Structure 1
Amino acid sequence: MLKAEIRVYLAMPRNKRQFSFLERALKVAGATPTTGSVLDNYLKYKTGVNKRNGGTIPPDARKLVSYSLAPFGGPDASAATTASKRYRANISKFSNDWRTGGGKISNADIGYALDDPANQVDAAYYPAQMKVFVPDGGATAVAQPRISGITKRSYKTKVGKSYTLPFGAIVGKDDQNEYREQMKVLSTKAKGAGATSITFVPEEWGSPAKEATSGT
């Protein structure tokens, strides 16, 4: 019997640049890399000649559902259940339908509460995320050969669906390991739902927008 290979990653912060290695290599190679090379194809991607491989985006991936979350950092039960101490966060309907259906991840599991007018809405708050990939055909799905639209290199990949789920702290957990505990709980849930790749992106706080005085 084949065993599913489960991969759990701790992702770098959201501002990590994609293709940073190719960017550095391109600077070293100069503006005219060898024709047909990976760098040449990457440069064509940057100038709009080559296109990234893309599947069909489900209509529900563009629709958003909103919940409130308690940020990490040891919220006590009182703070975590007070609407004004919770923050609004969005999840796509596509991911949310999987969560509540095949994913079997409840609001209590993931730290969701229904929206309340008193919730905080802060553009500087980026909730923690769990990103999962569930292959079509389950654990025995076989990787299929493809050609990268960017570098034109061949690679193999499994056909499936990807979901992104923001998550927050759980009421009553106030120790310093609450984030890792939540990762463990959600990983177990996602694996049980057939996920073969699980990535966690930590919570972030950006700089709040600065107020400006009106011009005259």
Structure 2
Amino acid sequence: MAKRFNNLDAALKYLRPTSADEATPTPDAPAGTPLRNYQQYKAKQKKISYVRDAASKPGEIDVVVVKPFALLPTDTTALRTVISARAVGQYGTFGLTEAELGVDTTLQNTDKEAVGFIPAKAICRNVTGTTTSAKVSKVTGESYKTKANASYTFPVGRTTANPSWGQQKAFILSQVAASAGNKSVTFKPEKY
């Protein structure tokens, strides 16, 4: 579960009597509460679906290559991965370029496909709205405020300037922070 649910997971744990062991089932939270909604969601008793706006759908998928962080900096192996057509060309919005992200769109015969390889990713968010609107969480039923925004997921690879994942993350973070507007970035490490 996401970190945002840590407090709800803890609350469910505290519903159990202190004398109970880990195998003791958690009693039901009070009906109609956000905790009960979350408990039903976690137990898969409540189905949630989201409808994406047409503008947020990925569209076609383009094949690109990245150099994985799991290999030595001197290794020239490039692995194929994908990026959504929607995300292509949005690098500049966040003060980045394909080269800085370690993404190469020129495919070579020597590029490899690795089964199970998932590249590192930078999920960049651009807040475009100026006013907040209220929405209701489908998980807990609680209302929250948000502004209009668009997010893009970019694959990230090793570069000569930033051969380690830590260096590359720090560089991308600094570029996004320096870009104009209300921007943020989160990261997912590669799985090799």
Q: What residue number does 1:161 align with? A: 150
Q: Distance in 2 between matches of 1:156 and 1:104?
A: 27
Return closer, same or farther for 1:190/1:161 CA change in 2, 3 Å cut-off. Answer: same
Q: Decide whether the 8 Å contact of 2:176 with 2:184 is kept in 1.
A: no
- The corresponding residue for 1:124 is 116
> Are the aligned partners of 2:56 and 2:150 in contact in 1 as well (CA < 8 Å)?
no
Shift, 1:97, TM fit = 3.1
Gaps (5+ residues) in structure 1? 1-16, 206-216
SS in 2 for 1:204: coil
Report what 2:34 is aligned to.
38
Task: Look up the SS of the partner of 1:58 in the other structure.
Answer: helix
Aligned to 1:187: 173
> Alpha-carbon deviations, 1:61-98, whole Å to 9, x = none?
1421111111125412xx33xxxx11111111111232
Q: TM-score if structure 2 supplies the norm length?
A: 0.75
Closer, same or farther in 2 for the Cα pair 1:75/1:25, shift >3 Å? same
> What SS is found at the alignment partner of 1:131?
strand
- Residue 133 (structure 2) pairs with residue 144 (structure 1): yes
Identity of aligned residues (%): 25
Shift in Å at residue 161 of structure 1? 0.6
**Matches of 1:105 and 1:119 in 2, distance apart?**
24
Does the 8 Å CA contact 1:63/1:93 hold for their aligned counterparts? yes
Letter in 1 for 2:122: M
What is the Cα deviation at residue 57 of structure 1? 4.6
TM-score for both structures, normalised by structure 1? 0.68
- Structure 1 vs Structure 2 CA RMSD: 2.7
Which residue of 1 is the match for residue 46 of structure 2?
48
Ranked by relative contact order (alpha carbons within 8 Å, sequence separation 6 or more), the top structure is 1
